[in-house]
Structure 1
């Protein structure tokens, strides 16, 4: 995975943000509450970054990594739960909720692809990130 992979990550990130923007700016929806999901997009990789900084390196599973996975899972579940709660409360419409959920799926797969791309071993004995 080289330049094509990076272009694919950029494309999927753009698609996810397009879904999120469509949930806000289409005339039948017209509210900007779904943009709060962006907060979860930025928070999702932070526990993993912190765990990698403080981990031993080659150990398969440490308490720090497991705690980071737990917090990341909570952030991802919250990102899927927020639009459903907003739609159930009547703050946004269900169509906007569907756009946000579709954007969430694409965004979190993009974040997963980012981690898979930048943490794979290379032939030069160093990691890309």
Structure 2
């Protein structure tokens, strides 16, 4: 297993990982992080609780241009609950970056969601 601190990612992301208790990669992360950090397409499958979200959130945080304040990444989730969990994970791992995140799903005021997407967060 690789250590997260050995990855070639921004120090702000490493700091968020350390705060979140991430020390060593899980198998899904070890297999997917390198190609995703190289901006290659990956299809991965793993059981619940094995680090899948971090496996794609870390490269996404690395790829975002923090000076550009408009939407740059989109994660689709099959349920509201999962969308909220993913949002929380992005905030947790990216808390030392300038990355903003929002969950957009049914049951919320459409005007607020449109505003978030069209004018940045």
Q: TM-score range by the shorter chain?
A: 0.3 to 0.5
TM-score (norm 2): 0.34
TM-score (norm 1): 0.32
